[in-house]
Structure 1
């Protein structure tokens, strides 16, 4: 029996991943939710401002926001994302013994669900969840393009950095699932361009016009009135982000760069440990029936990566950015699998010792982090 586990350990690795997730959750709920909590109490009370959609929705249901709501709302969102990804994986690849290593390398990656558990309450996961929905829904009409535009608007209202974080992935999914399959005509191209222009305009409005219009002391006083426990003033220490201009964010990022750049070798190592997955992804791209499709997919991957490079230069939450970049790669992998192929690409080998070792190491890594690795 032990020999069988050593030869094909993927079910065991899946069980270990579940145990690691429980441990990450127990650790997470013991930490103060500084940034996630303040996002639940900021709304549109003083007019249009950035980062306020989630708080505005919460305000529709309650006047006083308890701290536990961060973990409740974040937990429900995390479970929904897990369910959506499981459904997507089943639709794209199916759950079999041969696809189990692929599921472990994606769903069990420290970049993905485990890091979303560590960042419980942050806004990153909403982009992932909405992108998965787009991968699951029918894509044969302009309703699909309109839904993608609506999702992008929602994400920018949640946090305008989504224009770089998940909107490029959503655009890629729309191009792959709608335009490459249905073709391009004057109507759907014009509709897509208008949708992109609207989302871009909203981003610039949030970035440059979404600053809080009242003194910070008055803003903090209003936030205290929304708190179930106003004595927890420590949870309001990030109120300055609604006043901070882009130039200050960039200056802070470059000021921290010499220290934070030390984590890059760790990120490179983590990416390298996913090598069996990247080989499979490259095989999928190489197996596409159309050379034009291959070139477009490669260009999209470069474009998504460039958007994350811009984020690296602007905001210093590097562990989050590299984790979400990897998640975007996982999602595009599913989109590529939906394109016509000239041949089947070989699955990740289930009984290869080196692959098993990489899978075990990734399984045991509980998360990547928020700013610096681990």
Structure 2
């Protein structure tokens, strides 16, 4: 019996992943939510500013924000994302014994749901959730392109760095699911370009015009007025980020680079452990019916990766960026699977020894982290 379990361990690995996620949640709620909490306090009280949409939505429902709301809102968002991804996987591959290794490699990856649990309350997961919705939606009309544009606007208002983090993946999904599947004409191309121009203009407005217009003392006083417990002044220590110019962010990132770059071999190892998944992804691309589709998919993967490279230069939360890059690859894999293929691509084998070892190692890694590995 033990031999059978070791030969085909995927259901057990799925159970272990669920237990680890629960453990990460218990650990997370014991930590002070420094950055996530202050984002729930900031709104448009002083005019248009960056990183304020989530706080503005919260302000519609409550004048005083308790600390536990970080975990409540973050937990609900995480559960919704889990449900959306399960629906997407069901739609793309179906749940069966032969698809279980693929599900474990994606959903059980330390880059994905486990790391979103560790970064509970941060804004990254919203980009993932909205991209999954686009993968689930019908894509045959301009309504799909308009929805993608609206989602991109929402993401930039949540945090302008989404222009690099998830908007390129949103664009890839729109191109693969709408333009490649249904063709290009003058109206849908013009609409897409206009939407991209609007999102880009909004990014520059948030980046360069979205600085807090009042003195920091007045800003902090307002944040205290929105806190359920104003004595928790330790949770306001990151108020400076609404005043920090881009040049200072880049300077801080390069100042930390000699130390943070030591984590790159760990990131490389984690990526290598996903080798069975990357092989399957490469097989999907090779199996595409159209040469043009293959070239465009490869160009999209390069473009998304270059956007993350720019993020590495600008902001030092390296573990988050690597994790979200991997999530973008997972989502694009689903988009590629929806394109016409010349032949079937063999799934990740369920009874291969090396694949089982890689799956076990990834399962036992609880998360990647925020700045440095683990």
TM-score by length of 2: 1.00
Mapped partners of 1:337, 1:178: distance in 2: 14
Mapped partners of 2:26, 2:353: distance in 1: 32
Which residue number corresponds to residue 100 of structure 2?
100
TM superposition shift of 1:242? 0.1
Mapped partners of 1:271, 1:8: distance in 2: 23
Which residue number corresponds to residue 210 of structure 1?
210
Which residue number corresponds to residue 11 of structure 1?
11
1:33-52 matches, within 5 Å, as: 33-52=33-52
TM superposition shift of 1:2? 1.2
RMSD across aligned positions (CA)? 0.3
TM superposition shift of 1:3? 1.5
TM superposition shift of 1:332? 0.2
Which residue number corresponds to residue 364 of structure 1?
364
Which residue number corresponds to residue 245 of structure 1?
245
Q: What are the ranges of 5 or more consecutive residues in structure 1 without an aligned counterpart?
A: none
Which residue number corresponds to residue 339 of structure 2?
339
* 1:265-284 deviation digits (Å, cap 9, x = unpaired): 00000000000000000000
Which residue number corresponds to residue 288 of structure 1?
288
Mapped partners of 1:4, 1:224: distance in 2: 59
Equivalent position SS for 2:222: helix
In the alignment, structure 1 residue 324 sits paired with structure 2 residue 324: yes
Which residue number corresponds to residue 119 of structure 1?
119
TM superposition shift of 1:4? 1.2
TM superposition shift of 1:65? 0.1
1:94-173 matches, within 5 Å, as: 94-173=94-173
Equivalent position SS for 1:270: helix
* 1:188-212 deviation digits (Å, cap 9, x = unpaired): 0000000000000000000000000
Q: What are the ranges of 5 or more consecutive residues in structure 2 without an aligned counterpart?
A: none
TM superposition shift of 1:111? 0.0
Which residue number corresponds to residue 354 of structure 1?
354
Mapped partners of 1:4, 1:11: distance in 2: 12
Mapped partners of 2:193, 2:280: distance in 1: 33
Mapped partners of 2:37, 2:164: distance in 1: 23
Mapped partners of 2:33, 2:130: distance in 1: 23
In the alignment, structure 1 residue 278 sits paired with structure 2 residue 278: yes
Equivalent position SS for 1:329: helix
Which residue number corresponds to residue 304 of structure 1?
304
Mapped partners of 2:232, 2:102: distance in 1: 44
* 1:231-252 deviation digits (Å, cap 9, x = unpaired): 0000000000000000000000
Which residue number corresponds to residue 313 of structure 1?
313
Which residue number corresponds to residue 259 of structure 1?
259
Which residue number corresponds to residue 174 of structure 1?
174
TM superposition shift of 1:42? 0.2
